[in-house]
Chains A and B, each alone.
Chain A
Amino acid sequence: MQHDPVDSSRRNFLARTAAIGAAAMAAGSARAQTGRRGGRLVLAAPGGSAGDSLDPRAFTSVYHGNIAYAYGNCLTEIGENNRVVPELAESWEWQDGGKRWLFELRRGVTFHNGKTMTSADVVWSLNLHRTPDTKSGAKTLLSPIADIRADGPNRIVIELAAPYVDLPQVLSDWHLLIIPANTTDFNAGIGTGPFAVKRFVPGQTVEMTRNPNYWKQGRGYFNEVEMLAVNDAAARVNGLVTGEIHLAERIDTKTVALLSRNTQLVVHRTVTGGYRPFVMHCDTAPFDNPDLRRALKLAIDREDYVKRVFSGFGRVGNDHPIAPVDPMFSAAIPQRMYDPDQARSLYRRSGHSGPIVIHASEAPYSEAIDAVTVYKEHAAKAGIDIQIAREPAAGYWSNVWLKKPFCVSSWGARPTAEIVLATAFKSDAPFNDTRWKNPEFDRLLAQARGEFNDARRKEIYHRCQLLIHETGGCLNPIFNDFVDGARANLQGWIPGNHGLSGMRAAERMWFAS
C-alpha cells in the first residue's frame, strides 16, 4: 500500500500529543513536590459587576476568567510557551483532513458534587455556547463547529464544516468550562477545578475552598481562595501594598517603578498578543492612497514611542497584528523603522496637503492621548501635520471606532493567529476596522485553516503578515504588556497568555512562607 503522508502525519500528531501529555503529567508531578499546601489567597481583579453570575456564557472580564479557571477546567489548557496541552481531554486526533476531531476524555474525574465527568457533560457544556440566540462570548469561537456528539462515555466527536487546525487551542478558552449536564443553578459553581465555590456575592467576592479530589497533579495548593472584584486600580495597589491582597491583576504601568522598590512585592510582566494600533480606512480619502499610508507608518519612532508612552512595557510592532510571542510570528519581515525623510517624500508624492486628523480618547487604553501626542511630534519631523481630535470616552466604541477614518484602537489577545487575522482583517469581517479588502489574503487565510503541516502553515501566515505590513491600514507600533503585582512570598508563577499567569494563578501558585 502506498505510504499515505496524511496517515503518517496523523500518527506523528498522535505521538506528539501523547508526548506532550506525558511531559505535562511528569512535570506536574515534579511540581507536586515543590509546592506547599496551605494558606488563604486573596486575589483582586477588575471587571466585576453586581450583575455577574457563574454561568460560563456570562463571562466577559479578567475577573470572571480567574474565577473560571479556579472552579473549572476545559478540555485543553494553554501551558508553558503558549503551547496547548491536555486538560480534561487526555489526547486527541483528527481525521478526514481535519474536519473530524476525536477527543479522549480523562477517566475518573469528579465534579465538586461527587458526580463523575463523562462525555454527556462535555457535549452539554460545549453546546451551551452554540445555541443560535446565545450571547456567550465564545459563540464565534465555536462557530466553525457543525456538530458535537458523544461516542461512548469517554470520547467525544466534533465535526466541522471545514478543516480547522486550531480546534484544540480554541477549546482552552475560559468560557468553555466543563460543567455537569443540565445544570440550572450556575451560581453554585460546580466544576472539576482545584477550588469549590463556597460563597458568591456578584460584583463583590467569590470565596472558595480547596477541592481535595482535584485530579491534576502539582496544582491547587491554597486551602482557601477569595477573589475580590476591585475595579479601581489605585484601590488594588493599596490593598497589595498593605498585604490585604496577595495578587492584583492589571497594575498601571506608570506605578511599576515605584512598586518595584517595595521589597515585599514582585511585579510580573505578562506578554500577550494584545496590540494597540492606529487604524485608517483604506477605502476613504486620503487614506486610500497607498503612498500616504506608508508615509504615516514610516513617520513614527517606535522605540521612542514604547519607551515614552508605555514606560517600556511592550514590544515594538511591525504594522501587522501577530505578536512576537505567537508561534506564527514572522521574523522574516524586516522591522519598519522611523524614516522621516522617506515619509516626507512619500507624503509629498501622495499629493495630500493639510492636516491629518486622528481621533482618540482614553476609552481604548488610558495612555491613548499621550500616544497620539508623541506620534504627532514624530510625524512633525517628517513634515506631516497630525491633528488630534479628542473624543469623549463614553460611546467611543459606538461612534468613533469603525466610523472615523483614522482613529486609535485596542485589541486584546486571541487564542490563535487565525482568529486574530479573521476577526479584523478578513474582507467581510464585521470588525474590519481598516476596511482593507484583499482577496489574496482571504484565500491564504482559508487555506491556512486546514493546513496541518507546521512549516507550510507558517509560510502562509508569513505571507498574510507581509500583505498587511505592506498594504494594510494598520499602523501597529506596539504589542502591549500587562503588569500584575504579587506579594513576594508567593511562588509558582508561570508566564501565561493572559494576566495573572493565564488567569490560573490561583491554581498554580503557593505561599512560600
Chain B
Amino acid sequence: MLELVVILVRRCAYAALTLLAVSMLIFAGTEVLPGDVAQAVLGQTATPETVAALRKELGLDRPAAVRYMEWIGGALQGNFGKSLANAMPVATLVGERLDKTLILAAAAGLISVPLSLGLGVVAALYRETFIDRMISAVTLTFVSFPEFLIGYALVIVFAVELGWLPALSNLRPDAGVWQWVRALTLPALTLSLVMLAHTMRLTRTAIVNVLSADYIQMSEIKGLTPARIIVRHALPNVIGPLLNIVMLTLAYLVVGVVVVEVVFNYSGMGKLMVDAVTNRDMPLVQACSLLFSTVYVVCNLLADFLAIVANPRLLHPK
C-alpha cells in the first residue's frame, strides 16, 4: 500500500513538472506567432502611435521572462488575465464554455469506449478471420480521413439527406434532454470514429496477448468453460491495458473537440480557442492551451495509476 502512495506522489510530481514545461512551451509558442497582437486588436484603426500605445498598455514592451512569471503566477491562483478582445476575465469566458466541452467529450466517450472495446473483443476472439480483417479495414479508413471531412460527411448523410439529426448543434437554455441528445449525436460520432481504429486495435492487441498466455492454455487444458476462462482469468489481466486505453481516449476526446466544434458550430472551448487564435487574443489562447494540456496530463497520470492498481506486478519492475 505504501509503495502505491509513493508511486502516486512521484507520478504527481512528474506531472507537475511536465505541466510547467508545457506552460513554458505554450508561452514561447504564442510569442513567436507572426502578427503583432496590438495591431490585430486595433485592426483597421491601427496607426503607429495607437499600436505603440496599446503595446504599452498591454505591457508587451516588457521582457518575455517577466511576463511569463506574471502569467504563471496568476494562473496558479486561477487568474488568467483579461481577454484582449473585450477585457472580460479569461477565467469567466473559459468557465462558461468548459462544461459544454466536457459534456461533448463525455458523450463521445459514451459512444467511443463501448464501441471500441466491443469491436476489439470481437476482433480478438475471431482474430485472423474475415470479421477481424473487415473491422480493421473499416476503422482504418475512418482514421485516414480528417476529422472535419468525417463531420461534413455525417452531416450530408444524416442531416441533409435523411433529415434525422440537425446540422448545427445550437442549444437553447430551455433545451430538454432529447434535444441535447439530438444535438450531440453527430459531433460525438465524428469524434468517436476518428479514434476508433486506434483504440479498437489496442484493445484487440491487449486481449490477444492475454489469450495467448500460458495460464490461459492451462485453463483450457484443465477443461474450464470459455466463459469462465474469460471472466476469471483473462479479463482481470486485460483491465489494466484497457483502462489505459480508455483514459487516453478520453484525453484525446477533450482535445479533439476543437475542429468538431467548429464544424457543428457547438459553442464549447474548442470554438472559443479557434476564435481566440483568429483574433490573436493571447491570454485566451494561452489559458485554453494550458487547460487542454492539463486535461491530457491528468488523464495520462490516471491511466498510469490505474494500470498499476490493476496490475500489482508493475509495482516491482524487474
List residues of chain A with CB under 8 Å of any chain B CB.
49-53, 58, 60, 135, 137, 139-140, 201-205, 228, 230-232, 234-235, 238-239, 241-242, 244-245, 392, 394-395, 397-399, 430-431
Contact = CB atoms under 8 A, between A and B. Distances in A.
A337 B76 CA distance: 64
A384 B86 CA distance: 48
A203 B271 CA distance: 10
Given A49-B85, A203-B275, A242-B163, A235 B265 contact: yes
A152 to B, nearest CB: 34
Contacts of A139: 45
Q: Interface majority SS on B: helix, strand, loop or mixed?
A: helix
Interface stretch (B35-43, B216-224, B289-297): B35-43
Nearest to B261: A232
A459 to B, nearest CB: 31
A137 B167 contact: no
B128 to A, nearest CB: 41
Contact of B43 (A60, A239, A395): A60
A137 B45 contact: yes
B267 interface: yes
A282 to B, nearest CB: 21
A198 to B, nearest CB: 11
Contacts of B8: none
B160 A238 contact: yes
24 contacts: A50-B85, A51-B85, A51-B279, A52-B86, A53-B86, A60-B43, A228-B168, A228-B170, A228-B265, A230-B168, A231-B271, A232-B262, A232-B263, A234-B152, A235-B167, A235-B262, A235-B263, A238-B152, A238-B168, A241-B160, A242-B159, A244-B166, A394-B35, A398-B39
Contact of A50 (B43, B93, B160): B93
Nearest to A134: B45
A232 B266 CA distance: 11
Chain B residues touching A, range: 35 or more
A280 B41 CA distance: 26
Interface of B: 33-36, 39-40, 42-45, 47, 83, 85-86, 88, 93, 97, 152, 155, 159-160, 163, 166-168, 170, 262-265, 267, 271-272, 274-276, 278-279, 281, 284
A137 B152 contact: no
Given A235-B262, A241-B160, A242-B160, 8 more contacts: A50-B93, A50-B97, A242-B167, A395-B36, A397-B35, A398-B35, A398-B39, A430-B47
Contacts of A49: 85, 275, 278-279
A202 B263 CA distance: 19
B47 A231 contact: no
Contacts of B278: 49, 231
Contacts of B276: 50
Contact of A205 (B170, B272, B281): B170
Given A228-B265, A392-B34, A239 B167 contact: yes
Contacts of B275: 49-50, 203, 231
Nearest to B274: A231
B35 A230 contact: no
Interface centre among B40, B83, B88, B275 (most CB of A within 10 A): B275
A257 to B, nearest CB: 17
Nearest to B41: A135
